[in-house]
Amino acid sequence: MLSRVANSIYWLCRYIERAENVARFVDVNLNLLLDTTDEYSQQWDPLVITTGDHELFLKLYHTTTKENAIKFLTYDENNPNSILSTLKIARENARTIREVISSEMWEQVNKYYLFVKDSSINHSLEDLYHFYSKVKMESHLFTGITDTTMSHGEGWHFGRMGRLLERADKSSRILDVKYFILLPKLEDVGTPLDYIQWGALLKSASAFEMYKKKHRRIIPDNVAEFLILDKEFPRSMRYCVNNALESLYTVTGTQEDTFSNKAEQSLGRLSSELDYTQIEEIQSRGLHEFLDEFQTDLNIIDDNIHHTFFALKPPLQNMVQS
């Protein structure tokens, strides 16, 4: 497979996943607005900080309000990570490889982008709950169409890698929003507000029902363990990393538990760490510190995937001197 094509499929699926997860980020706060007083609901500035785009946000808006944060994260084309911007890039990636992906995939990307583009013109704050629900559903639909209409060869595995690595990163950031930012005072730990926030976080990760089936009661350590270390829940960090590694091995043909390039080495190391880590160890290190290190590791893995598969290689030099 051409590196250009593999790169486009990887980023097509990654940007679709990113759009969905930005919707989940905003959904965390919107859910909290339903259940908390105004004192605790105005957490838009920390939310933008967690996305990593706070410096750009301040340049564009100067002050943080609910309306500014929602516009920046959702519709602002000056923000390369807004929902509209990511879908625009995803659509362009899909357009360049239409001969490789299925026609159903192209139609879904195009329809999805046009829906958000139209919403950016005619949106109102009253429609936000429906809008973000629709964004998540359109992303799920694209994933389902991809899995059922595209051959599960190299291209599909590159797309799966992109989707899962993006999901792992955003799952860690959603968890970080709650643990490090949304609880401003120590005395709030264990209060009804604390449990409302953990419940909102689980709902935003579409994890509430599966968590309740396994643990029944909302206990913060169990929530963190479920979203980080559960090996069966498809949005947990461990599940995403392990299955991304599985796709990487399928692409390269390398035997499991070995490595032949830096991408396999770095992703395999992170997978092993999650397989053999317990939540008590994570808590003793500090959950925020663990999540921050995890996000750094994912950035290194993404760089290694780029250099291994997508970067242009210099032409081989003639070793025989005349």
Separation of CA 149 from chain center: 23
Higher pLDDT among residues 231 and 127, named by residue: 231
The answer, yes or no, to whether residue 229 has pLDDT greater than 50, is yes
| Residue 187: pLDDT over 70 | no
Residue 265 clears pLDDT 60, i.e. is over it: yes
The answer for residues whose C-beta is within 8 angstroms of residue 312's C-beta and 6 or more apart is 3
pLDDT band (50, 70, 90) for residue 40: very low
What's the rounded Cα separation, in Å, for the pair 57 and 47? 11
Q: What pLDDT is stored for residue 317 in this prediction?
A: 45
Residue 50: which of 192, 201, 233, 275 has the closest Cα? 201
Structural contact between residues 97 and 5, judged by C-beta atoms closer than 8 angstroms: yes
pLDDT at 45 over 90: no
Task: Tell me the average pLDDT across 150-163.
Answer: 96
Between 184 and 49, the more confident residue is 49
Q: Which of 162, 105, 141, 110 is nearest to 309 (CA)?
A: 162
Hunting for tokens 């097509």 — which residue is that?
A: 12
Burial class (CB in 10 A: 0-12, 13-18, 19+), 252: middle
What is the torsional sign of CA 41, 45, 46, 47?
positive
Q: What is the mean pLDDT of residues 291-300?
A: 96
Q: How confident is the model at residue 135 (pLDDT cuts 50, 70, 90)?
A: very high
- Helix 192-204 to helix 208-215 angle (10° resolution) is 120
The DSSP result for 161-185, as a single string, is HHHHHHHHHHHHHHHHIIIIII---
Q: Distance between CA 214 and CA 201 in Å, rounded?
A: 16
pLDDT value, residue 35: 58
Q: Which of 35-44, 49-58, 144-153, 213-222 has the highest mean pLDDT?
A: 144-153
Spell out the alpha helix ranges (H) of the chain.
3-35, 38-41, 44-51, 54-61, 66-74, 83-96, 103-122, 128-149, 154-176, 192-204, 208-215, 220-229, 237-252, 262-275, 279-285, 287-305
Closest CA to 291 of 244, 234, 224, 241: 224
pLDDT in tens, 64-121: 888 899 999 999 999 999 999 999 999 999 999 999 999 999 999 999 999 999 998 8
pLDDT at residue 199 is higher than 80: yes
Domain residue ranges of the chain, discontinuous segments joined by +:
3-310
Q: Which token pair is 47?
A: 């939310």
Q: How many CB atoms neighbour CB 49 within 10 A? A: 16
- Across 34-48, 171-185, 247-261, which has the greatest mean pLDDT? 247-261
Kindly state the average pLDDT of the residues 275-300.
94
Cβ distance 199 to 218 under 8 Å? yes
